[in-house]
Amino acid sequence: MSKYWKEIVIGAVISGIVFLAFIGVNVVPFLTLVVFVAAFFLVAKPKGGAIAATVERKAKLRTPSYLTFDDIGGQDRAKNELKEALDFLIRHDEIKKFGIRPLKGILLEGPPGTGKTLMAKAAAHYTNSVFVSASGSEFVEMYVGVGASRVRDLFKDAKTRAQKENKESAIVFIDEIDVIGGKRDGGQHREYDQTLNQLLTEMDGIHTTETPRILIMAATNRKEMLDSALLRPGRFDRQIQVDLPDKKGRLHILTIHAKNKPLAMNVNLAKVAEESYNFSGAQLESLMNEAAVYAMRESSEVIEHRHLSAAVDKVLMGERSDRESTKQERERVAMHELGHAIMAEAVKPGSVSQVALSPRGQALGYVRHNPQDDQYLYTKQELEGRIMVALGGAVAEEMFYGGRSTGSRNDFEQVLNLVKTMMDSGLTNLGIVDREMVTQEELMKENNRIIKQLTEHTRDILERNRSVFHQSLAILVKEEVLSGNQFRSLLSLIKQKTTA
């Protein structure tokens, strides 16, 4: 009812005046009073809702909970680089002797979930600064000038809070800065341009010799979209890459999130770090949380390794599905996944972590791979090996069913991306070329040649292991899940019987 209190009051006033006029009472004094009160509230009302928006936004600009760099795992290089940049803020007297210009802005760039916002909060604690944060989307409004006004208020609030809390510095953090800092193309986006222009003006107006000193930090996962005026020296002086953690970093993150969880004595987090290749910090936190959920479902007092393994699958592909498939479909999926697994072991022995027939998310089955070491550079041979592993499922279906199914769609997307990487890296017969200088026909011809050649090679390898399919099918359909060690033992046993 409180939602419509204004309408109720207005209706009551109008009804009262009409009633008084109807019974012959002089309503002029009442009308004068109503007009006076309405004029008072109209003048006092915030124009365009700017003050109300500022009040609402101020509620969001809160000091973060206690957070240090030690609480952030897996980003040693980025943390050290950021600390060095922050030292310019807290050691201002020392750097003044060397004539060093203090930094005005630090840009954190990296994939989602890697800890950019956490690092900004830790930076505030490291420098004993006031922390004021906002998201780029908060500055975007349909009314021209509102975003620019909010940028001014943001910096003003930072200075005011620093003075009120007797702090020498303040950090202004803008998440998703690409929303307001995108490249200006001369179009009709006046609101976006004015907001960006105001941000640039505020950064130019930061005087690092004044107290409180203001440092602006921002985060984005799309640096290529930012306007060049933001990235020049004197604006965002430091641009720090916050990458996905490596195996050592993943182990550190898992250890941090395992502190408040009852792990079984035999749990090896280093093994989990290997299985969670390419996971972000947010995904690793979710992994530990999901493992605890699985343990609670089973009424287990501790978190076993099987719970962690199931959590890896959950984060990668989603919750296990209740969909029931026919016997023929399950066998076809089993053949498909065995094709992937056999090719993975042929290309890189020991790389299969699990072969599963249980549906998760949109997948009816899957093979989870377990890279021994993080890898960032690939040779032509290694890329071709990955393509053959992806083709293994479809080729296995062709061998036993005479054709493919829609289950190979994601595999083919992966194959095309890998072939594109080979072309862009100069690892094909096209040599070192610019894709825009080569015709579409030439690209398709080379693409088809590579895929056809690797498909034939994949078929040759799988044909030599045809007996593995026949003898593994019943076991996989019955067990539904085979660990990497179980699959390799089975593979070795079948090969010994075949050679004997």
Please report, for residues 378, 419, 438, the alpha-carbon distance to residue 425 in angstroms, rounded to integers and kept in the order given.
10, 10, 14
Are 402 and 378 in contact, with CB atoms under 8 Å apart? no
Question: Whole-angstrom Cα distance, residue 313 to residue 293?
Answer: 14
Structure tokens at 323: 């969909």
Are 103 and 203 in contact, with CB atoms under 8 Å apart? no
Are 367 and 427 in contact, with CB atoms under 8 Å apart? no
3-class DSSP state of 132: strand
Question: Whole-angstrom Cα distance, residue 463 to residue 399?
Answer: 8
| Peptide bond preceding 212 in cis form (omega within 30 of 0) | yes
What b/e readout covers 340-351, taking b as 16+ CB neighbours within 10 angstroms?
A: bbbbbbbbbeeb
State the CB neighbour count (10 A cutoff) for residue 25: 11
* Catalytic-labelled residue, pool 138, 337, 345, 384: 337
Tell me the DSSP string of 178-197: GGTSBPP-SSS-HHHHHHHH
Closest-CA residue to 286 (of 264, 308, 267):
308
Catalytic residue list contains 165: no
Q: Which positions are catalytic?
A: 337
